[in-house]
Structure 1
Amino acid sequence: MARAKSFDTEAAVDAAMQVFWTNGYAGTTPQQLVDALGIGRGSLYNAFTSKHALYERALRRYQESETARLIEVLDGHGPARDRIRAALDLVVTASLRDSGGRGCMIANAAVEFGGTDEIVGHLVRRVFDRQEAAFRGAIEEGQLAGEIDRAADAGALASALLATINGIRVLAKADPDPARLSRLADTALRLL
């Protein structure tokens, strides 16, 4: 008869997310995971099969908890420009609040793995595609409402905004200067 798990798997994924977010995949040791999750090494591998499988779950959890807020703001109600501004402000605020300089776990995964890991690459692209689509949707709504120039290429603007938010998160890791990050957000908004 199999023994019942003596730990909360979802809480373990949350704890692992924090460790991976702080250290990256390569910088995280199995011992750090065991210590953070409060379980034995055998339980770690029995529950998650591998460090990589746990990392995948942690990336998905990050996407669910952290990046979903941006989408909610962009998909919300109110004038499109206000929603886009709120989304940019959300990224700046999160970047400044990140006293550990962790940045965005999804952007970190993109930098750490590049195109070398098919599963991580797919997760990263899915998040970036969803963020870009949310920006594009808000831009197109703004164009229909006359808030944003109808002749502008909504796809190109959405790509520029995606690059801006990821640039803000990366810059904030090295130099969390509020004035610089706010200037980036302001400049991106002027593109509209």
Structure 2
Amino acid sequence: MPRSEDFNRDEVLDKAKQVFWMKGYNGTSMQDLVDATGLNRSSIYNSFGNKMELYQQSLKKYQDESGCLFNRVKEKNRNAMESVGLAFLYVLDEMVHDKENKGCMLINCFTEMGNQDEALLGLLEANQEKMHGVFEDLVKQGQEDGSIRTDESSDALAHYLVSAFQGFRITGLGVRDPKILKGIIQNILKTIA
């Protein structure tokens, strides 16, 4: 009979997520995970699987948490163009307050591991599809309310916004000046206006 877990699984997963987020997959050792979680190696393996499985669970947790950003945008009931701008402004706020310069864990994963593991690639692609769907819904709404141009398809403009959003997140690792970042957002919005 398997032993029951005598720890809070969600808290341990959050601690592992923080280590992976800060150090990346390759920079994180099992000893780092033992130190951060307070569990011994066998408890980690028995409860979460190997390092890659724990990394995937950490990414999924991050993905679930970061998906709330788009829910916050939808709750504001603005026109579509304002909603798109709000998504970028929320991320700008996160970037400016990211004192450890961790960036987006999913984008970090894409740049470090995106071409090395099929399961990770599937998770990352699913995240992009979800983001594309949110942006496409906003673009369609904007094309209907007149705030977003109609000379290109909602699909094409949504792909542009996903690319711009991810590029913006990467830019925020090197550029910390809110004035410059707001200028980038304005140029992105001009492109779809």
Q: Which residue of the partner structure matches residue 158 of structure 1?
A: 158
Q: Which residue of the partner structure matches residue 113 of structure 2?
A: 113
**How far is 1:22 from its partner?**
0.5
Does 1:140 find its partner at 2:124?
Answer: no
The whole-number CA distance in structure 2 between the counterparts of 1:117 and 1:104 is 19
The whole-number CA distance in structure 2 between the counterparts of 1:169 and 1:133 is 19
**How far is 1:74 from its partner?**
4.7
The whole-number CA distance in structure 2 between the counterparts of 1:128 and 1:85 is 18
Unmatched tracts of structure 2, length 5 or more: none
The whole-number CA distance in structure 2 between the counterparts of 1:170 and 1:147 is 27
The whole-number CA distance in structure 2 between the counterparts of 1:29 and 1:41 is 11
Q: Which residue of the partner structure matches residue 68 of structure 2?
A: 69
Residue identity in the other structure for 2:148: I
Question: 3-state SS of the aligned residue for 1:106?
Answer: helix
The whole-number CA distance in structure 2 between the counterparts of 1:160 and 1:125 is 16
The whole-number CA distance in structure 2 between the counterparts of 1:148 and 1:53 is 41
Q: Which residue of the partner structure matches residue 38 of structure 1?
A: 38
CA contact (8 A) 2:114 2:124 kept: no
Q: After superposition, what is the alpha-carbon deviation per residue over 1:97-156, rounded to whole angstroms, capped at 9, x for unaligned?
A: 111111111101110013221011111111111111111110101111122222232222
CA contact (8 A) 2:110 2:124 kept: yes
Residue identity in the other structure for 1:71: F
Residue identity in the other structure for 1:70: L
Q: Which residue of the partner structure matches residue 93 of structure 1?
A: 93
**How far is 1:75 from its partner?**
3.9
TM-score, reference length from structure 2: 0.93
The whole-number CA distance in structure 2 between the counterparts of 1:164 and 1:149 is 17
Unmatched tracts of structure 1, length 5 or more: none
Q: Which residue of the partner structure matches residue 122 of structure 2?
A: 122
Q: 1:74 to 1:152 in 2, by over 3 A?
A: farther
CA contact (8 A) 2:103 2:170 kept: yes
The whole-number CA distance in structure 2 between the counterparts of 1:131 and 1:88 is 13
Identity %: 31
Q: After superposition, what is the alpha-carbon deviation per residue over 1:18-65, rounded to whole angstroms, capped at 9, x for unaligned?
A: 110000000001111111111111111111110100000000000000
The whole-number CA distance in structure 1 between the counterparts of 2:169 and 2:82 is 21
Q: Which residue of the partner structure matches residue 29 of structure 2?
A: 29
Q: How do 1:39-58 residues align onto structure 2 when only pairs under 5 Å count?
A: 39-58=39-58
The whole-number CA distance in structure 2 between the counterparts of 1:191 and 1:97 is 27
The whole-number CA distance in structure 2 between the counterparts of 1:145 and 1:178 is 29
Equivalenced residue count is: 191
